Amino acid sequence: MKILACADIHLGRIPATPRTTSLSNSSAWESVVTTAIKEKVDVIAIAGDVIDQDEAWFEAFGPLLKQVKRLDDHGISIVTVAGNHDHRVFPRLGEEGASIHILGLGGTWESIDLDGIRFIGWSFPSSTYSADPFASFDKRLLDFSGPVLGLLHCNIDGQVGNDRYAPVPSNRFSTHSKAFWVLGHIHKSHLDNEYLYCGSPMALDSGECGRHGVWILESNKSSWAKPRFIQLCTYRFENCEIKLDNETAHDNLTAYIQKDLKEYSNEIAKEQFSGKLYCKLTFTGTISPGFNLQQSLNGDQLDAWEFPEVNGIEISPLPDYEDLTILELDLEELSKGIGPKALLAQKLIDVDSSEDLINQTESMIKESINARAFSLVQELDVSEDSIDTALLIRRAGMLLLRRMVSQGE
């Protein structure tokens, strides 16, 4: 059997791409169906969030069923589970045709056998679910002589009881390795030995970096071949580092940007990508006190920049950039003076040995991350090993010191 695997289509939502008006709220779904027909697959397996929101049902209903009709005409079935975005509308979808198989409605595990393949799945019973879905898994679902494909919308290694999107310990998949698991919820694709996060078919906003598309799974009588990725998204968002130095000046800044963006596009081209590359620029490096990046470059200039095409890739810098440059300053010399600049310079010299400052900063970071305003932030690693507190302090301190030096007393 040949299967197209995907997730997080979010039908009803228009991707937020700069200066692009050709995308509709159904572009991703149309591309998925067109690819399935072209690849002559037998089944489309969807790991949740087909619809963006319950409120989008009336807007998405027509485009959804139009493409389902195309699949019916080519004998392609749909096997899916409900995610946190579409748990309410899926019962209505299941009434629309015999070729649509929705597994596990109401938060139960369920299976269906199609042409020698067993599909098993669990659906969100509500918009949030803080327990591990595998806590109610029936191992008898794995008693099958042929290949087994699991479908689940979940957050791997989320904290059970606190994470709102079906937290699942990663060892669950090795425990249930009889099945290969197709997962949704995380919009960045990731292939592991036991599972595949499909990612979204198209990047929905500038935060969704990397490649986007669908995956082809093929089975023999007992196992699965390595999944094959197909790019659908003709644009791509990336965070691009621009390295400056103490030779950078207003007159040569564009040369630094062009050099690093060209190198970056060459690396992206190796992944067989062609299309529009949207780059959020992050400036790093040590610069001289006489150079001010904010005065030399503004968002309007980046937004209007016509960059030459490289390897079939059209590069477009995004207007918002991040300045992480460090001012080339003699901290020892500054610390010998008096006033705020001298005190700050001394703090920066001593930052690595200042346990009180580091502990206080770490406490503030954890307090901020646990605040309600950050509750919707996903994929944020705040473990002790993930945060270089001294580096954060040094960057913030150098930025402040830079402003103080450039503005005078």
Mean pLDDT of the 60-64 span: 80
1, 114 contact by CB (below 8 A) = yes
Per-residue pLDDT band at 98 (split at 50, 70, 90): low
pLDDT at 176: 84
Query: Model confidence over 198-217: pLDDT tens digits?
Result: 999 999 988 899 999 999 99
Mean pLDDT of the chain: 87
Per-residue pLDDT band at 142 (split at 50, 70, 90): very high
Answer yes or no: is pLDDT of 367 > 90.
no
pLDDT at 111: 96
The string of DSSP letters for 178-245 reads TEEEEEES-SS-EE-SSEEE---SS--STT-BS--EEEEEEB-SS-BPPPEEEE--SEEEEEEEEE--
Spell out the domain ranges in the chain.
2-231, 235-407
pLDDT at 361: 85
Per-residue pLDDT band at 185 (split at 50, 70, 90): very high
pLDDT at 254: 93
Per-residue pLDDT band at 71 (split at 50, 70, 90): very high
Per-residue pLDDT band at 377 (split at 50, 70, 90): low
241 versus 14: which is more confidently predicted? 241
Mean pLDDT of the 371-395 span: 65
pTM: 0.79
Q: Which residues of 281-290 are buried (b: 16+ CB within 10 A; e: fewer)?
A: bebbbebeee
Answer yes or no: is pLDDT of 383 > 60.
no
Mean pLDDT of the 276-292 span: 90
187, 204 contact by CB (below 8 A) = yes
Per-residue pLDDT band at 165 (split at 50, 70, 90): very high
71 versus 86: which is more confidently predicted? 71
pLDDT at 296: 92
Q: Which residue has the tokens 């503030």?
A: 364
pLDDT at 56: 62
Q: What's the CATH code, domain 2-231? A: 3.60.21.10
pLDDT at 322: 92
Per-residue pLDDT band at 321 (split at 50, 70, 90): very high
The strands making up 100-102's β-sheet, listed across from edge to edge, are 100-102, 77-81, 43-47, 2-6, 213-218, 228-231
- Tell me the percentage of the chain whose pLDDT exceeds 70: 91
Q: Which residue has the tokens 């050099």?
A: 259
Largest CA distance in the chain: 80
- Tell me the percentage of the chain whose pLDDT exceeds 90: 49
Segment among 26-30, 35-39, 73-77, 327-331 with least mean pLDDT:
327-331
327 versus 231: which is more confidently predicted? 231
Q: 37: part of which helix (H) or strand (E)?
A: helix 27-39
Helix (H, G, I), strand (E, B) or coil at 380: coil
Per-residue pLDDT band at 352 (split at 50, 70, 90): confident
Segment among 28-37, 128-137, 362-371 with least mean pLDDT:
362-371
What are the residues whose beta carbons fall under 8 Å from the beta carbon of 100, sequence distance 6 or more? 68, 77, 78, 80, 93, 94
Q: Which residue has the tokens 């606190």?
A: 162
pLDDT at 59: 73
pLDDT at 62: 81
Answer yes or no: is pLDDT of 324 > 90.
no
Answer yes or no: is pLDDT of 83 > 60.
yes
Query: Model confidence over 257-273: pLDDT tens digits?
Result: 999 999 999 999 998 88
pLDDT at 376: 55
pLDDT at 77: 94
Within a 10 A sphere around the Cβ of 102, how many other Cβ atoms? 21
Q: Which residue has the tokens 């389902």?
A: 68
Answer yes or no: is pLDDT of 356 > 70.
yes
